[in-house]
Chains A and B, each alone.
Chain A
């Protein structure tokens, strides 16, 4: 059974790695959109809705992603709706990511001095105009580092999707380890691939941050 070359291992892992990338992208985009929506709602809403969104954030921050994946996979099935591991992973990761992102961004918006809201209000700008032209450009600079830091966590977090049978990088790794009997090599490759995914993101963030700093302050 020594028929597996290193290239075979790497090729199989790369193929599975596409699903890790796809899951990460779904989490970024889905979580980003839902997170942004929740942020705007939170800035505008009355105390009732604010508390509701706060509870949502606490719920997803206070439970392991692993449980959220299980619940999405088995819980939705209990309602009589058949979900693929794809859908379940996408839903769980989106909700999880949105809860963290909305909280990170809320903090960044809250860090903008109240005077910026008041000055733009007194210039007759609407809420949307204030957000778009005054508050968000400043909050964005603050948000870059924590947002990217969290996105790196999400990339690694997609590994958990393997528990509901989703064949992504980690799952493919354990399958390869089983057939090749070379777990150290296989998981070494898996780790390297995660690193190759995450490192450029961090690098990009650092560049982005430096650039906005020169302009901003």
Chain B
């Protein structure tokens, strides 16, 4: 019991060493029928790195994120996460990979028929066969961590959007992922609720969680990320540290994109 209660957020150590590539994407291509949305992506993300992906809608940024945990199938190229290759044919391999990758969605997608606590505990119980006592202890710890300790027994529809999104974060963390994917996680929130969610994400970044986030919050991307990727027409168009990318954009497309955000 005591070990469970003392469990920190990332209890399962990733297999990858700090500073080594934890996500490797090579020559990834993806199309919907005739329409190619990802035109050869090469990207490696180091363990502990925080990567922000920006770009216009339709540039393929969300699709790229969704490829990383297999929600979208790609046609060419390869992808490994924490040493686990992505193999669609093998349910076992997918299950192993998805345990290494957590994802948070724009629309929260909490399970509406389960209490907040049950939302957090469901997957660990089924997939990780975590015992009830340990499961409860970890879930309480995680909810406390996202500032919702007192909401354990609440139903999702009793929570605000910001609170629901923080539960979604706790739910993803309960699976002890090595990498966390955030797909425009504040886009569906009222402006006054954005801060509480971003603060949680920032604290995760500070703790060394590997984060890949598609975001429209440029100031947040600038503050928190180690690297910013600008995607344009299915390619990584420009990439670099936030200061360089935002301060001195090299390509006209990025310049135009950044200036379009000004007004």
Nearest neighbor of A122 in chain B, beta-carbon distance: B103
- Let me know if B126 and A119 touch, CB within 8 A: no
Counting contact residues on chain B (CB < 8 A from A), the size range is: 20 to 34
- Let me know if A123 and B127 touch, CB within 8 A: yes
A129 contacts the other chain (Cβ, under 8 Å)?
Answer: yes
Residues of A within 8 A of B101 (CB): 122
Nearest neighbor of B98 in chain A, beta-carbon distance: A124
Give the distance to chain A from B82, nearest Cβ to Cβ, in Å.
Answer: 13
- Let me know if A133 and B126 touch, CB within 8 A: yes
Give the distance to chain A from B10, nearest Cβ to Cβ, in Å.
Answer: 16
Nearest neighbor of A115 in chain B, beta-carbon distance: B109
Give the distance to chain A from B158, nearest Cβ to Cβ, in Å.
Answer: 11
- Let me know if B113 and A125 touch, CB within 8 A: no
Task: Assess A123 versus B98: contact at CB under 8 Å? Given A129-B126, A133-B126.
Answer: yes
Mark interface residues in B128-145 (1 if CB within 8 Å of A CB, else 0). 000000000000000000
A137 contacts the other chain (Cβ, under 8 Å)?
Answer: yes
Which of A126, A134, A138 meets B91, CB within 8 Å? A126
B171 contacts the other chain (Cβ, under 8 Å)?
Answer: yes
- Let me know if B71 and A129 touch, CB within 8 A: no
Mark interface residues in A120-144 (1 if CB within 8 Å of B CB, else 0). 1111111001000110011001000
Which of A123, A138, A141 meets B171, CB within 8 Å? A123
- Let me know if A129 and B107 touch, CB within 8 A: no
Give the distance to chain A from B45, nearest Cβ to Cβ, in Å.
Answer: 17
Task: Assess A126 versus B95: contact at CB under 8 Å? Given A115-B105, A115-B107, A118-B105.
Answer: yes
Give the distance to chain B from A57, nearest Cβ to Cβ, in Å.
Answer: 28
Task: Assess A137 versus B95: contact at CB under 8 Å? Given A123-B172, A125-B127, A217-B157.
Answer: no
Task: Assess A122 versus B112: contact at CB under 8 Å? Given A115-B107, A133-B126.
Answer: no
B111 contacts the other chain (Cβ, under 8 Å)?
Answer: yes
Nearest neighbor of A141 in chain B, beta-carbon distance: B113
A84 contacts the other chain (Cβ, under 8 Å)?
Answer: no
For the complex, give the distance between the alpha carbons of A204 and B109 in Å. Answer: 31
For the complex, give the distance between the alpha carbons of A116 and B113 in Å. Answer: 11
For the complex, give the distance between the alpha carbons of A141 and B102 in Å. Answer: 29
A64 contacts the other chain (Cβ, under 8 Å)?
Answer: no
Total number of residue pairs linking A and B with CB closer than 8 Å: 66
For the complex, give the distance between the alpha carbons of A123 and B168 in Å. Answer: 11
Residues of B within 8 A of A116 (CB): 109, 111
For the complex, give the distance between the alpha carbons of A215 and B91 in Å. Answer: 34
Residues of A within 8 A of B112 (CB): 138, 216-217
Residues of A within 8 A of B127 (CB): 123-125, 129
Give the distance to chain B from A121, nearest Cβ to Cβ, in Å.
Answer: 6
For the complex, give the distance between the alpha carbons of A133 and B101 in Å. Answer: 21
A80 contacts the other chain (Cβ, under 8 Å)?
Answer: no
Nearest neighbor of A116 in chain B, beta-carbon distance: B109
A46 contacts the other chain (Cβ, under 8 Å)?
Answer: no
B41 contacts the other chain (Cβ, under 8 Å)?
Answer: no
Give the distance to chain A from B186, nearest Cβ to Cβ, in Å.
Answer: 16
Residues of B within 8 A of A113 (CB): 107, 109
Residues of B within 8 A of A121 (CB): 69-71, 98
- Let me know if B105 and A124 touch, CB within 8 A: no
Residues of A within 8 A of B172 (CB): 122-123
Give the distance to chain A from B209, nearest Cβ to Cβ, in Å.
Answer: 16
Nearest neighbor of B92 in chain A, beta-carbon distance: A126
Give the distance to chain A from B71, nearest Cβ to Cβ, in Å.
Answer: 6
Task: Assess A124 versus B109: contact at CB under 8 Å? Given A118-B71, A133-B122, A217-B157.
Answer: no
> Which 9 pairs, one residue from A and one from B, show the smallest C-beta to C-beta distance?
A123-B123, A119-B109, A115-B109, A124-B98, A122-B103, A124-B99, A124-B127, A137-B113, A129-B126
Which A residues have a C-beta under 8 Å from some C-beta of B?
113, 115-116, 118-126, 129, 133-134, 137-138, 141, 215-217
Beyond contacts A121-B70, A138-B113: 5 other A-B pairs, Cβ-Cβ < 8 A, are A113-B107, A118-B71, A122-B102, A124-B175, A134-B111
Instruction: Return 23 A-B CB contacts under 8 Å, by A number.
Output: A113-B107, A119-B109, A119-B110, A119-B111, A120-B123, A121-B98, A122-B71, A122-B101, A123-B98, A123-B102, A123-B171, A124-B99, A124-B123, A125-B123, A125-B126, A126-B91, A126-B95, A134-B111, A134-B122, A137-B113, A138-B112, A216-B113, A217-B157
